[in-house]
Amino acid sequence: MERVLTALMDLVVPPASMVMLAFAWPTLAFLRALEWAVKALTKEDMRGKVVLVTGASSAIGEQVAYEYARRGANLVLVARREHRLFAVRENARALGAGQVLVVAADVVREDDCGRLVADTISYFGQLDHLVNTVSLGHDFLFEEAGDTAAFPHLMDINFWGNVYPTYAALPYLRQSHGRVVVNASVDTWLPMPRMSLYSAAKAAVVDFYETLRYEVKDEVGITVATHGWIGGEPGVGTGIGTSRFALEEGAGAADQTQAQAQAPAQQWTKADTTPPLPAPGGLAVEEYARAVVDGACRGDARVRRPGWYDVFHVFRAFAPDVLGWTFRLLLSTAPAPSTVAGTGRRALVVAPVGAPTAALPAPPVRPLIEYPAAVAGRRPAAAQLHKLE
């Protein structure tokens, strides 16, 4: 009897659901537009509020920081590349930001995340928005990677690089009824060739935050932003036109140095950036960052840019073979990848998301700003924090 019921449900529920959605779609669209209008009128005023942005030294993170600066927010800029953060800090000040702290930290290290949140609270006394933008993409078929050394780095940066800062910041976000903003990708629901590990990590990130949304209820807001092509760079979702062995913000400095040191034995490859292909329907980094911050200030649960990517939800749910045929066609016409001499395997390619970056050494250790003795005693001696005078 149970098997018969299951078979009947499989036969009836999908077409019935499609018919129901077809009739309900106009009403749902109207309600969504009405909700958007109400939220736009009651948008959160960020003047004087505190926003912590990870991966803020370049690409999406940098532009998100500028958007918050235009809204008069106080900023905490976090990345490994300290010298880049100083330039971003000055630009943010020129755009209208309040006070700006620069923190050199590695978000894949739990103790660094605890420190950067403690620094924020010690100086500002509150935290209103946490924006996680760190990402690391790649461009290799899983079976042809040739070396597994990058696998844990990809998972660490794309998953734990979001989870650790959130874990450290969540108690303070509860106090301020703040918000977590997450930079995800269409790869979470639109699997793309040559992006298997990245897609898995980003899918884990989205599922984590969708679950966390129900755990924190209305005490902390969560905005999950997904993007496709950005600024002509395929970045997340295609793996075409990328730089090789270049770690984006959030990658561990020690991990990067170790990987470089072991490059000959592990078949790591450095190469110039391949010119990106045209991006149909893509958008500029600035436009995406503006949409993310606008959505966060409105209290949107999800921000998707470009919006037309949503149509692939339908294909994946009701016609997954169409996506499969498309990917097979693309792969059959793609140029043959380069291989490592003597192995027959492809050279491992690790590409940054948003914009190509060069491999840089770890940021230097610099003196702290002065803290009261009770607070300083709890801080690591090598912490790096700089006050904007």
Give me the active site residues, please.
198
Instruction: Report the alpha-carbon distance of residue 17 to residue 217 in Å, rounded.
Output: 28
Return the structure tokens found at 200: 């898995």
Instruction: Report the alpha-carbon distance of residue 73 to residue 66 in Å, rounded.
Output: 10
Return the structure tokens found at 363: 């940021």
* Contact between 61 and 54 (Cβ < 8 Å): yes
Question: How buried is residue 235: exposed, middle or buried, by Cβ count under 10 Å (0-12/13-18/19+)?
Answer: buried
**What is the b/e burial string over 104-138, where b = at least 16 CB atoms within 10 angstroms of the residue's CB?**
bbbbbbeebbbbbbbbbbbbbeebbbbbbbbbbbb
Instruction: Report the alpha-carbon distance of residue 26 to residue 102 in Å, rounded.
Output: 47
Instruction: Report the alpha-carbon distance of residue 159 to residue 201 in Å, rounded.
Output: 6
- Please name every residue paired with 79 in a beta bridge, in sequence order, or none if there are none: 104
Instruction: Report the alpha-carbon distance of residue 18 to residue 168 in Å, rounded.
Output: 42
3 state DSSP class of 358 = coil
φ/ψ (deg, to 5) at 77? -100, 125
Long-range contacts of 87-92 (CB under 8 A, 24+ apart): 88/56, 88/57, 88/62, 89/388, 91/66, 92/65, 92/66
